[in-house]
Amino acid sequence: MPATTVRSSVPTVERATLGNGLRVVLSPDRSSPVVAVAVYYDVGIRSEPEGRTGFAHLFEHLMFQGSSSLEKMEHVKYVQSSGGTLNGSTRLDYTNYYEALPAHALERALFLEADRMRSPRVTEENLANQIAVVKEEIRVNVLNQPYGGFPWLTLPPVLFETFPNAHNGYGGFEDLESATVDDAQDFFDRYYAPGNAVLVVGGDLDAADTMRLVERHFGDVPARAVPERPDFDEPAPTSERRAQHVDTHAPAPALALGWRLPDPADLAAYLPFVVLSSALTTGDASRLKRRLVHTDSLATDVGTHIGVMQDPFDVRNPTVLSIEAHHGNDVAADRVVTATDEELDRVATDGVDRAELERVVARLESAILQGSDHVLSRTLSMAAFEQQRGRAELVGELAGHVAQVTPEQVRAAAATLRPDNRARLDLLAGAR
Amino acid sequence: MSGPTTEQPAQPRAVPGLGKVRRAKPPTVAERVLPSGLRVVAIRRASVPVVHLRLRVPTAVRRDADLARAGMLEHTMLLGTAERSQSEIADALQRIGGSLRASSDADRLVLAGESLAPGLPDLLGLLAEVLTSASYPRAEVEREAARLADLLGRRLSQPGVVADERWLRQVFGDHPYGREYPAPEEVLDVSASSLRSAHRRRLVPDGSLLVLVGDLSPARVLDRVEGALAGWTGDGSPTTVPKVKRFTPGALQLVDRPGAVQSNLRVGGFAMPRTDPDHAAQELANAIFAGPFVSRLTQNIREDKGYTYSPRSSLHHNARASFALLQADVATEVTAPALVEVGYELGRVASLPPSADEVESMAQHLVGVLALSTSTQAGLAATLSVLLADGLGVDWLRDHPQRLLAVTPDQVHDAARRILAPATRATTVVGDASVVGDSLRDLGPVDLS
């Protein structure tokens, strides 16, 4: 029986670059009276200097502390009292800020983003307050949590050797505590230039009207020099790199295997790994779930991540495919690794047949469509695609590209995932 | 920081007002009760070529052993049918870009799934097959029991989960609402034969609700569902949990977690059901106390004092009890001061009406969040299945914004007295007792465990 296929529609996109260098993408979709606004700055965890681990994320918090026209909390109050929600996040290669709101609050959201692009309002008091908040964020997500930071914080230092790729993006407490208002000023001046940002607005909007509003609010944000993005590439492992991590909260062990991937900029070379990842661990029909969980009962859970932050399309080179498995105390980690290697070898040797590939593609297509049903997640995807690939339209085109991946490409992708070019991290259960 | 170093400080500008409110188009809905007693509601939202379904079966946890059995039903229902193995079911779902999964709580079992729109007939076929002939093969059931035990062990190692469980126990005691998760060893005792009989007894169509949302034609889908599920019959009626006893708050429960760098605070108590005429007012009271970022407690213990990352109070609606529960994870050294601020904000919202501005702002926020959360197929399916199962209609979604916007400060105050008054709240803290114990005892009685 053939797999189900549908045709996904490519969104309408209007583009402009303002005089100050800000790139703008508007994408009307009038199916619901909601809009989303996203600003992506081209600076992330990889750009923070040594001695300032966690600074990109701390700075993200500071962007909510008031701006040129607004006191602390006013930004948040304006969004929420307009019926909206908001947040920001810090990734390896970008920091983003976004709102989802009723359509009638669109101009207000544009104003608020422009106001903090003009200048955030950082004081000693706000800085000290947000350092305390970030420390609690790290405690709740990492230090006080079983499997906290596994493997997103603990695998990169095994797989990578250079500071930008290997360091802890949440930051050490000493580094966070030594951050100053001047550091924040310098970071803003250097990285938050309008020419270093992309603005994407999606949802129930009229493109021409909205472009006028964008020009009105962002047009006079002063232009500044745009930093050159460094090449963060480094050599891939030539032998297996191993480490152990004792997790004192964890009741059972876990394992992460990580490999370098081709440069995501080359979509044709990259997508076979996205498909392979799904074939390996998405759903009960996937190969590693069948082998490790159902047939051999070696693992209680297994998953594959593309990118340490688990989004294949939010990261530039160099990046990672990782396999994460949780297993019982009575199962030796080596057995899990051996079975995983055998399954990878099976794909590398025999490939996948067309029927399996079609099923995997149907599942991926469905996930892509479901993701694009929400105005905010669709707008965020468009912003990442625009920033990193200059093509917001990929939000609608991606499923078509995925469907072009051939069985031979998936086979060849699996053949690159070998024991001698990976990192292996064993999480040891240290709970009493 | 006042602006880029090379520029003059920017002059303050006026924040733009709001435009004209645009309303969502009401969805096309079709509904039918099948001869088996199953109620089917189909709604068209064709934003993407996908369909979602939610089947809610009201089958309650009535005794202690039911909880582990319900947990195992969730994890074993798709292990095989009369016609297919687990792998064959998984392949069939993957082929339509779909998934199907079970979940349960003390009141019900839910089957949720989705597929690419052309795959809906197959999805319904699989749903019917699972409902009528799930086989619970013994070896696979034993494997899943071991796996679920391991998953539960990991879940119950999270301090936030321990705090939630201990708070539920404090408020609901031995009632089925008194815990969410069975112990790992309980699920190991559940046999394949007991699952087969539980399936027959519990998964009955009478009183169940099936909601479908997506790129579909509602009227045609009803016929298709009726055909696909014609074989799903079975004697039996919905079951409910025992009546919930009123609860008198006692001492603070302190659960020792030696070496913990944070304390997990849980503070809450009974609230009103969603069907109560004052539901909109209680939603506002809860949100003003500790809902979104602008709420009072977040401003106080996060943005002013830096004690915590993400405090939040939520309303929970079970079939026979509703409750409001605050969750806040705070630095160990400020455990007692954070609790003092929680008590202050509870007392403030329960003893003084909020300003008209604060109520109006929060009402606008809740109206917007409702619109956003129902603007996707999956969100609409999830929200509607909950509302309809509570006996509310599709028109509730249309009318609720007006209800929120009509609430007065005095009504918020009155609701806050009923659901947030400090004297009616139970408090549980998971943390390092050797560090936080004495300062908590300074605030009032403490039971340590």
Per-residue model confidence as pLDDT tens digits over A26-58:
999 998 899 999 999 999 999 999 999 999 999
* B82 contacts chain A (CB < 8 A): no
Contact between B13 and A139 using a beta-carbon 8 Å cutoff: no
Contact between B89 and A112 using a beta-carbon 8 Å cutoff: no
* A100 contacts chain B (CB < 8 A): yes
Pick B11 or A245 by higher pLDDT. Answer: A245
| Percent of chain A surpassing pLDDT 70 | 100
Q: Is the pLDDT of residue B56 over 70?
A: yes
Point out the residue among B261, B362, B368 whose CB comes nearest to the CB of A143: B261
Average pLDDT in chain B = 95
Average pLDDT in chain A = 96
Contact between B89 and A102 using a beta-carbon 8 Å cutoff: no
- Contact between B19 and B31 under an 8 Å Cβ cutoff? The reply is no
Pairing assessment for the beta strands A241-247 and A422-429 based on DSSP bridges:
parallel
* B206–chain A nearest CA distance, Å: 30
Contact between A73 and B99 using a beta-carbon 8 Å cutoff: no
B399 vs A31: CA distance, rounded Å: 20
Question: Of A421, A423, A426, which Cα lies nearest the Cα of A255?
Answer: A426
Which residue, among B25, B52, B86, B94, would best test binding to A if mutated, counting the most A CBs under 10 Å from its CB? B94
| pLDDT band at residue B203 under the 50/70/90 scheme | very high
**pLDDT (mean) for B72-81:** 97
| pLDDT band at residue A432 under the 50/70/90 scheme | low
Chain B residues in contact with A376 by the CB 8 A cut-off are 372
Using CA atoms of A349, A353, A354, A359 in order, give the dihedral in degrees to the nearest 10. Answer: -110
Give the full edge-to-edge strand order of the sheet including B50-57. B28-33, B39-44, B209-214, B50-57, B109-116, B99-104
Point out the residue among A133, A185, A373 whose CB comes nearest to the CB of B306: A133
| pLDDT band at residue B234 under the 50/70/90 scheme | confident
B275 vs A54: CA distance, rounded Å: 46
SS3 call for A67: strand
* A411–chain B nearest CA distance, Å: 20
pLDDT of res. B370? 95
Output phi, psi for A327, to 5 deg.
Answer: -135, 170
* A243–chain B nearest CA distance, Å: 22
Per-residue model confidence as pLDDT tens digits over B85-131:
999 999 999 999 999 999 999 999 999 999 999 999 999 999 999 99
Q: Is the pLDDT of residue A429 over 90?
A: yes
pLDDT of res. B10? 60
* A10 contacts chain B (CB < 8 A): no
* A35 contacts chain B (CB < 8 A): no
pLDDT of res. B236? 85
A50 vs A61: CA distance, rounded Å: 20
Point out the residue among B20, B309, B368 whose CB comes nearest to the CB of A137: B309
* B102 contacts chain A (CB < 8 A): no
Per-residue model confidence as pLDDT tens digits over A176-208:
999 999 999 999 999 999 999 999 999 999 999
The DSSP output letter for A284 is T
Residues 104-143 of A with CB under 8 A from B: 104-108, 111-112, 115, 118-122, 128-137, 139-140, 143
In the block, tokens 């708050």 appear at B249
Q: Is the pLDDT of residue B266 over 60?
A: yes
* A314–chain B nearest CA distance, Å: 23
* B371 contacts chain A (CB < 8 A): yes
**pLDDT (mean) for B390-418:** 96
**pLDDT (mean) for B299-315:** 97
Contact between A73 and B372 using a beta-carbon 8 Å cutoff: no
Q: How many CB atoms lie within 10 A of CB B402?
A: 10
* B152–chain A nearest CA distance, Å: 10
Per-residue model confidence as pLDDT tens digits over A364-387:
999 999 999 999 999 999 999 999
**pLDDT (mean) for B288-294:** 97
| pLDDT band at residue B9 under the 50/70/90 scheme | low
Contact between B13 and A290 using a beta-carbon 8 Å cutoff: no
Chain A residues in contact with B140 by the CB 8 A cut-off are 294
- Contact between B312 and B291 under an 8 Å Cβ cutoff? The reply is yes
SS3 call for A362: helix
- Contact between A199 and A109 under an 8 Å Cβ cutoff? The reply is no
Contact between B294 and A81 using a beta-carbon 8 Å cutoff: yes
Q: Is the pLDDT of residue B6 over 60?
A: no
Per-residue model confidence as pLDDT tens digits over B59-75:
999 999 999 999 999 99
Q: How many CB atoms lie within 10 A of CB B40?
A: 23
Residue of A nearest to B4 (CA): A189
* A3–chain B nearest CA distance, Å: 5
Pick B148 or A4 by higher pLDDT. Answer: B148
Residue of A nearest to B120 (CA): A4
Which residue, among B372, B405, B430, B432, would best test binding to A if mutated, counting the most A CBs under 10 Å from its CB? B372
Which residue, among A59, A192, A374, A377, would best test binding to B if mutated, counting the most B CBs under 10 Å from its CB? A374
Chain B residues in contact with A204 by the CB 8 A cut-off are 22
Question: Of B267, B300, B311, B37, which Cα lies nearest the Cα of B167?
Answer: B267
- Contact between A208 and A390 under an 8 Å Cβ cutoff? The reply is no
Residues 306-345 of B with CB under 8 A from A: 306-310, 329-331
Contact between A251 and B154 using a beta-carbon 8 Å cutoff: yes
Pick A6 or B53 by higher pLDDT. Answer: B53
**pLDDT (mean) for A203-214:** 97
**pLDDT (mean) for A343-370:** 97
List Cα–Cα distances, B143 to A333, A425, B35, B104, B136, in angstroms: 19, 26, 38, 20, 11
Per-residue model confidence as pLDDT tens digits over A64-107:
999 999 999 999 999 999 999 999 999 999 999 999 999 999 99
* A295 contacts chain B (CB < 8 A): no
* B352–chain A nearest CA distance, Å: 21
Contact between A129 and B303 using a beta-carbon 8 Å cutoff: yes
- Contact between A322 and A258 under an 8 Å Cβ cutoff? The reply is yes
Contact between A119 and B9 using a beta-carbon 8 Å cutoff: yes
B140 class by beta-carbon count within 10 Å (0-12 exposed, 13-18 middle, 19+ buried): middle
* A296 contacts chain B (CB < 8 A): no
Pick B60 or A2 by higher pLDDT. Answer: B60
Give this prediction's pTM.
0.96
* A239–chain B nearest CA distance, Å: 33
Residue of A nearest to B308 (CA): A136
A308 class by beta-carbon count within 10 Å (0-12 exposed, 13-18 middle, 19+ buried): buried
The tally of CA atoms less than 13 A away on the side-chain side of residue B249 is 19
Query: What is the interface size between A and B, counted as CB pairs within 8 Å?
Result: 283
A353 vs A358: CA distance, rounded Å: 9
The DSSP output letter for B426 is E
ipTM above 0.90, yes or no: yes
- Contact between A219 and A18 under an 8 Å Cβ cutoff? The reply is yes
* A297 contacts chain B (CB < 8 A): yes
B49 class by beta-carbon count within 10 Å (0-12 exposed, 13-18 middle, 19+ buried): buried
The tally of CA atoms less than 13 A away on the side-chain side of residue B260 is 33
**pLDDT (mean) for A275-291:** 97
* B351 contacts chain A (CB < 8 A): no
Contact between B4 and A73 using a beta-carbon 8 Å cutoff: no
pLDDT of res. A289? 98
A155 vs A320: CA distance, rounded Å: 10
* Beta carbons within 8 Å of A212's beta carbon, 6+ residues apart: none
* B139 contacts chain A (CB < 8 A): no
pLDDT of res. B11? 76
